[in-house]
Amino acid sequence: MKCGIIGLPNTGKSTLFNLISNSKALSENFPFCTIEPNYGITNVPDKRLYELKKFINPIKIIPYKIKIVDIAGLIKGSHKGDGLGNKFLSHIRETNVIIHMIRIFTDVSVIHVEGSINPIRDKEIIDLELQLKDLETIEKRLEKEKNKTNQSYILLKKVSSFLKEGKNIRMFPFQDHEKEFIKDLHLLTIKPVIYVCNVEDDNKDCNSFYVKIIKKMGEKEKAPTIVLSLKNESMKKKKENFHEHESGINKLIKKAYQLLNLQTFFTIGKKEIRGWSIPNHWTAYQASSVIHTDLKKGFLCAEVIHYKDFIKYGSSEKAKKAGKMFLAGKNSFLQDGDLIHFRFNK
């Protein structure tokens, strides 16, 4: 599961990637300074880890993580291969969530590939390139389809018409299970997206003219918009505790985690407190496999305490005495934030 950062060249993609992943991807003032994608991993900020620390005082804390990909800037004609577009679009296809960077800041010393600052136009350029690539993918499938009356063909014709209206597929009114018919196409505009407005100063520009419009455009797609100043975020990260400060970067990471449809469980002990990522609606049996395959093979049950109950009583022993610990079997679903101890046959 990974998030891909996209946008026009020089919008701040590599700077954002470096801030999120503590990497050192090349970030220069010219288009296409990124050619090959940069891959990184980032901790997901979670204050619950530090609340648990107050009661347990472990040797170390290990947050859960997500993968981030910095993808080279797209330009007009990318769907036809312009500016290595086909290669860059294939990198987007491999991601699960898109982080779409939009330049709001007006610093004239930073080159703009279109020659002027116009965030609405910039968003529409990227949208159009992804839509045209999806349209090309769908039309190829339609040409191969011999049965013109099956559900897949009929759905694809509707989605094709929707794209031709300039709309992203994530806005399409799918019926139950219809997405399964086109899942194997790995369409680009069906992916969940977060729009990130890179402003000059997040204290002054959070409600600027362009930001308001981008937010409204995102709302139509039921897509969140995050406003941040990468210049300010860089300074904040140097001064403050990254994990405990509710910065724009942290909000972005947590929103991306949410759109990946992931939830968290914790394991606790004197050596470490650790967060683990699992897909939503996983059972205790499935969750055991992310720690070690042996746990799943010998799974007996899981001792579970809800996070809020642990905080209320202050220890596993007290929570258990209060009747707040329960045994979860193979088919028991977990809640986000559950504290778990697995029992298994060795």
- Taken in order of first residue, the domains within the chain and their CATH numbers are 2-259 (3.40.50.300), 281-344 (3.10.20.30)
pLDDT digits (tens, 9 = 90+) for 268-311: 999 999 999 999 999 999 999 999 988 999 999 999 999 999 99
pLDDT digits (tens, 9 = 90+) for 1-31: 899 999 998 899 989 999 888 765 544 444 4
- pTM for this predicted structure: 0.88
Q: Which residue has the tokens 């116009």?
A: 118
How buried is 298 (Cβ within 10 angstroms: 0-12 exposed, 13-18 middle, 19+ buried)?
middle
For residues 13-40, b (16+ Cβ closer than 10 Å) or e, as one string? Answer: bbbbbbbbbebebebeeebebbeebbeb
Query: What distance separates the 2 farthest-apart alpha carbons in the chain?
Result: 67
Residues 6+ apart with CB under 8 A from 271: 58, 59, 60
Query: For position 194, what pLDDT does the model report?
Result: 98
Kindly report the backbone phi and psi dihedral angles of residue 32, in degrees, each rounded to the nearest multiple of 5, phi listed first. 65, 35
Query: For position 85, what pLDDT does the model report?
Result: 46
Angle at which helix 248-259 crosses helix 230-239, to 10 degrees, equals 100
Residue ranges in the chain modelled with pLDDT below 50: 26-34, 82-85, 242-243
In the chain, the percentage of residues whose pLDDT exceeds 70 is 89
End-to-end Cα, the chain, rounded Å: 30
Q: Following DSSP, what letter does each residue of 102-132 receive, concatenated?
A: EE----TTS--TTSS--HHHHHHHHHHHHHH
Query: For position 33, what pLDDT does the model report?
Result: 44
Query: For position 240, what pLDDT does the model report?
Result: 52
d(CA 253, CA 244): 13
> Residue 100 in contact with residue 126, Cβ under 8 Å?
yes
